[in-house]
Amino acid sequence: MSKITFLGAGSTVFAKNVLGDCLLTPALQGFEIALFDIDHVRLQDSANMLNNIKKTSGSTSTIKVYTDRKEALSGAKYVVNAIQVGGYDPCTITDFEIPNKYGLRQTIADTVGIGGIFRNLRTIPVMLDFAADVREVCPDALFLNYTNPMAVLTNVMNTYGGVRTVGLCHSVQTCIPELFKSLGLEKEGVKAKIAGINHMAWLLEVTKDGIDLYPEIKKRAAEKQQEKHKDMVRFEMMLKFGHYITESSEHNAEYHPYFIKRSYPELVDRFNIPLDEYPRRCIDQISRWKQMREDLVNDANLTHERSHEYASYIFEAIETDVPYKIGGNVMNTGLITNLPREACVEVPCLVDRNGVTPTYVGDLPPQLAALNRTNINTQLLTIEAAITRKREHIYHAAMLDPHTAAELSMDDIVAMCDDLIEAHGKWLPEYH
């Protein structure tokens, strides 16, 4: 019996999408679906939910709960990772409150920026523990990482974990549908090429019947910018730098030095930027969980429709040898020629029985590569900090972050990092 192991299975809603998809996929029938989470209550919730879907779908797969991680991984052919180390309380709260004291405002804080750096620093040791288990009990497994910060964690698993890892994000497959819906354009028949880094990949080409759609897209975007809407940052970046970005405006507002500025507070209102957005979402999700739990976990008639998540389609393509195209996060083995080779990049990949094969992109337009490199700088220094355990590299990562550097002095950045290290306490290893 082949086995799919899900680490972080207490993420019940996400487990429903990824594993519910697997239960509906003909090529994955008869698989064992192994669930692991350190929260045993949420773990059992997810098992109950998936057993409901198994019953209503007629799936022949087996749902099995594990409280021992190595046992859950043993013999797995595929591993899906969706953990969050430290959760909302205390770690996400810390990631926002301490920078706020220094006047550094954030929106999501899970990718780069000061919040992304510290989310990485507390997650990397856990991921390397996963990697050690994978090398021991399922060394040939394909590891799919859904956990943010995507680029750094996928890089670490490949470079230092010795595990064949592909990072997956929702933003690639939703890029065209969301953009075209926003602008009142028809997406059917559209061809697109997307590449860059996670959360800052670029819509490099967008055509229909051989016609470049960018002139019409930019015309409509410029008109739409006259009124407030939720995607103003990405439209502004496209109009200034020439290309649309895959990830949302609330994310991209904190990836660049142009939008959240104490010296120009009117920009936050002008570009409709939701400061402290992620804590609000967390509070909302926590408050809605009781009803969601009732709907998901205790509904014996629960059904599921296959989602747009890539995981089941990847597994299906490998099992059937019917090719499937994804946008995947992989190491830059010369794929994007004007980005560093040691970086993790997001490029089109072909999936078949051979696994996930990235495609060659070549040079990005120079202004786009330059923007990517500003974020890659912080990513690589964060990895350096995590691997060497040198505190100075935490400072370097923060001082190289575009938004942080635009708002704070170097002395304040160092002091803020020290405060964050102290506040995280046992959630971080010792740094010297």
Q: Which residues are catalytic?
A: 170
Buried b / exposed e along 373-401 (16+ C-beta atoms within 10 A): bbbbbbbbbbbebbeeeebebbbbbbbbb
The distance between the two most distant Cα atoms of the chain, rounded to a whole number of Å, is 61
Count Cβ atoms below 10 Å from residue 192 Cβ, excluding itself: 18
Residues 6+ apart with CB under 8 A from 134: 73, 79, 141, 143, 161, 163
DSSP characters over 324-362:
EEEEEEEE-SSSBTTS-TTSEEEEEEEEETTEEEE---B
What sign has the CA pseudo-torsion 174, 176, 178, 181? negative
Reported residue count of the chain is 432
Note whether 18 and 311 are within 8 A (CB). yes
Note whether 152 and 197 are within 8 A (CB). no
Q: Using alpha carbons only, give the angle 9, 130, 398 rounded to the nearest 5 degrees.
A: 95
Gap between the Cα atoms of 273 and 277, Å rounded: 9
Buried b / exposed e along 34-53 (16+ C-beta atoms within 10 A): bbbbeeeebbbbbbbbbbbb
Instruction: Give the DSSP H/E element, type plus range, for residue 65.
Output: strand 62-66
